[in-house]
Amino acid sequence: MSSEPRRVLRWNRLVDHVEPVNLRTDVPHSARVYDYFLGGKDNFPADREAAEQTLAIFPDMRTGARENRAFLHRATRKLVGELGLRQFIDIGTGIPTSPNLHEVAQESAKDAHIVYVDNDPIVLAHARALLTGSTQGRTAYLDADLREPEKILRSTELAETLDLDQPLVLSLIAVLHFIPASDDPYGLVRRYTEILPSGSYVVLTHATGDFAPEAAAKVSATYQARGIALTPRSRSEIEDFLTGLELVDPGVVPVHRWHPEENTGEELADDRVNVYGVLARVP
Ligand SMILES: C[S@@+](CC[C@H](N)C(=O)[O-])C[C@H]1O[C@@H](n2cnc3c(N)ncnc32)[C@H](O)[C@@H]1O
The pLDDT tens digits of the residues spanning 228-259 come to: 999 999 999 999 999 999 999 999 999 999 99
pLDDT at 137: 86
Report the separation in Å between the CA atom of 178 and the middle of ligand 1, taken as the mean of its atom positions: 8
pLDDT at 264: 64
Instruction: Give how far the C-alpha of residue 265 lies from the chain's centroid of Cα atoms, to the nearest Å.
Output: 29
Report the separation in Å between the CA atom of 44 and the middle of ligand 1, taken as the mean of its atom positions: 17
pLDDT beneath 70: ranges in the chain: 1-20, 263-265
pLDDT at 269: 96
**Interface pTM, i.e. ipTM:** 0.99
pLDDT at 12: 40
Between CA 257 and CA 255 the distance in angstroms is 5
pLDDT at 5: 41
CA nearest ligand 1 atom 24, residue: 31
Report the separation in Å between the CA atom of 136 and the middle of ligand 1, taken as the mean of its atom positions: 27
pLDDT at 6: 42
DSSP-assigned states of every residue in the chain: --SHHHHHHHHHHHHHHHTT----TTS--HHHHHHHHTT-S---HHHHHHHHHHHHH-TTHHHHHHHHHHHHHHHHHIIIIIT---EEEEES--S--SSPHHHHHHHH-TT-EEEEEE--HHHHHTHHHHT---SSSEEEEEE--TT-HHHHHT-HHHHHH--TTS--EEEEES-GGGS-GGG-HHHHHHHHHTTSPTT-EEEEEEE--SS-HHHHHHHHHHHHHTT-------HHHHHGGGTTSEEPTT-SEEGGGSS-S---S-PPPGGGT-EEEEEEE--
Contact 64, 275 (CB under 8 A): yes
pLDDT at 265: 62
Using CB distances shorter than 6 Å, the residues near ligand 1 are 30-31, 34, 68-69, 72, 91-94, 118-120, 123, 145-147, 173-175, 178
